[in-house]
Amino acid sequence: MKARDSVELVSALASCRTAFVGVAAMSGLVNVLYLTGSFFMLEVYDRVIPSRSVPTLVGLCVLALVLYAFQGLLETLRARVLARVGAALDESLSGRVFDIVVRAPLKGAAPGDGLLPLRDLDSLRAFLGGSGPSAFFDLPWMPVYLLICFLFHPVIGLAALVGAAVLATLALLTDRATRRPAQTATGHGLRRNGLAEAGRRNAEVLAALGMQGRFSTRWGQANGDYCLAQQRASDIAGGFSAASKVFRMALQSGVLALGATLVINGQASAGIIIASSILVARALAPAELAIANWKGFVQARQSWARLSDLFARMPAGARPHALPAPTRALQVESLSVAPPGTQRLVVQDVSLALQAGQGLGIIGPSASGKSSLVRALVGVWPAFRGKVRLDGAALDQWAADDLGPHLGFLPQEVELFAGTVAENIARFDPEASAEGVIAAARAAGVHELILRLSEGYDTRIGEGGAGLSAGQRQRVGLARALYGEPFLVFLDEPNANLDAEGENALTQAILGVRRRGGICVVIAHRPSALAAVDLILMMADGRAQAFGPKDEVLKRVLRPASVPVEARPASGPTPPGSASPGPLQESA
């Protein structure tokens, strides 16, 4: 193994060591049984035909049939064992790979195609479960066949040795010639899949703005590049595979002619002609099969390298010691935040403290860092500098599965998952109770709305919340955030798609979190979202400009001089508790 190989990948393969030993043993028996055809022909020509003995012929036929049946049984068993080795590798690594697929975007380590790690695992499993490993297990038996060829006659052995050298050269040339085209095809495939996924996500925009044709053209160009690269790789691999096959057939005929020459000159028996031809063909078959499977081997090798790199960049951390549920405070200490994978700070040196029962509204113009700050407070973005603490414990001291039940999060873009409304509210907890789901829905003020759906809480929705309106998705997302009465609730533009009834329910939900001793943080775009909070944080250019009681901060940031004339309400000055459009803009 190379130094770059992941310990996890090596360990997963090492766990199948016993199966590989069994496959090697079966391969040995199979290759011994491959001699059946050669020795059968040798006996028929050298023993049966001269003696004209039918009983001997029948005995040889029965023996050959038994050996062939045993060979077929072993090959079937070997194929099944290899298929289960691939399945075992998948079972061992699939959870880790899925974890990387989910975590990579949060760490800035995602490939262009977010599902590429899963495809790489599929590629490894398919190669291990195919005929490729069998060819490599058969390769060590080539010297045995060559030795038997030399025992038949040195000239036949020399011909087989030359043929093996030619096939080995073809294998090396195949590797060199297909490596770069295969890498190029993978790169074009990533771009093609990325464009297809972007088109799927933005289907409405493409249709509404008449962009579908132009976007289709871009995708077509990427798909054409991918197909050309794939075609080139296939052409090269197919060409070498055909060359090796033709060479082996020609060599087999040449050995027949060579055997006939030896018989004519009295240097060998007649049976040598057929037996040596079959034996030479069998000796070179593993090399030919390896060349035929070389494309799959190259793809598997590239997949192995990419997974090794991802595993190294995103190691599986040890599970932290379990901590008690947070109940007292949230502290933010000189927090600076950069988007994953970059060094550009979008939040700088923000400090604040919130106690149980308080509500914080975060306001500010677009691109002021509001949403980035919340992502760091939730823990989905790592802190570049500083700490976020819950009851004194930093977020990195919590395992995500342990912290999740104590957090509620409603992002700007609400994403629901395929399943029932109840499953989405319960965060797909298999042990969720109906009472807990209904309590969360009531807390979000969405219980009556859900009852009006076709099947109530059992109404099935599609991926992304298909089947619900934007406002319904947002309110179901709010219920999901409130499920289990979490201590910390973060709401990013929670009223963006709500009507008056929904906004009233939102206000009551925030007050409900505070009344039960929780902390609620709200990013505000419209002033109505601030009605239930008591503290305000004003953000601008990634820095905290003001923090304190709501009325004091709003009076300071909404001074008449700070509001452009054209932005002031026509009816008079801005009332307390409201906000001008300026500082309450949605963050990017």
Rounded CA-CA distance 450/416 in Å is 15
Range picked from 143-157, 314-328, 472-486 for highest mean pLDDT: 472-486
Work out the average pLDDT over 576-581. 37
Rounded CA-CA distance 305/587 in Å is 39
Amino acid at 99: D
Q: Which residues pair with 331 in a beta bridge?
A: 353, 389
Q: Could you say which DSSP state residue 465 is in?
A: G
With CA atoms as reference, report the closest residue to 9 among 146, 117, 161: 117
Q: What is the pLDDT of residue 107?
A: 66
Distance of CA 503 to the CA centre of its chain: 38
Rounded CA-CA distance 113/543 in Å is 34
Work out the average pLDDT over 340-356. 89
Let me know: does 425 contact 479? Beta carbons within 8 Å: yes
Rounded CA-CA distance 120/122 in Å is 5
Rounded CA-CA distance 296/399 in Å is 39
Higher-pLDDT residue of 5, 466: 466
564: confidence class by pLDDT, cuts 50, 70, 90: very low
pLDDT at 297 over 60: yes
**Does an H or E element contain 118, and which?**
helix 116-128
pLDDT at 588 over 60: no
**41-80 residue pLDDT tens:** 778 877 888 888 888 889 999 999 999 999 999 999 998 9
587: confidence class by pLDDT, cuts 50, 70, 90: very low
Global pTM reads 0.67
pLDDT at 318 over 60: yes
Q: Say how many C-beta atoms besides its own lie within 10 A of residue 165's C-beta.
A: 11
pLDDT at 426 over 90: yes
Q: What is the pLDDT of residue 485?
A: 93
With CA atoms as reference, report the closest residue to 481 among 531, 412, 430, 433: 412
Work out the average pLDDT over 245-273. 79
**79-133 residue pLDDT tens:** 899 888 888 888 888 888 888 887 777 665 555 566 788 888 888 888 888 877 8
Q: Is 452 helix (H, G, I), strand (E, B) or coil?
A: coil
CA-CA-CA-CA dihedral for 218, 223, 228, 229, to nearest 10: 110
Terminal CA-CA length for the chain: 46
With CA atoms as reference, report the closest residue to 223 among 273, 259, 189: 189
Rounded CA-CA distance 329/392 in Å is 8
pLDDT at 421 over 90: yes
Mean pLDDT of the residues in the chain? 82
Q: What is the pLDDT of residue 199?
A: 81
| CB burial of residue 500 (10 Å; 0-12, 13-18, 19+) | exposed
Q: What is the pLDDT of residue 456?
A: 92
pLDDT at 525 over 80: no
Q: Which two tokens stand for residue 331?
A: 């502290």
pLDDT at 576 over 60: no
Let me know: does 137 contact 290? Beta carbons within 8 Å: no
Q: Which residues are CB-neighbours of 64 under 8 A, at least 6 positions away?
A: 36, 37, 40
**163-215 residue pLDDT tens:** 888 877 887 787 788 778 877 887 888 788 778 877 877 776 777 777 878 87
With CA atoms as reference, report the closest residue to 283 among 447, 130, 160, 118: 160
**Does an H or E element contain 337, and which?**
strand 329-337
Amino acid at 265: N
Amino acid at 200: R
Rounded CA-CA distance 78/226 in Å is 35
Work out the average pLDDT over 421-425. 94
Q: What is the pLDDT of residue 561?
A: 41
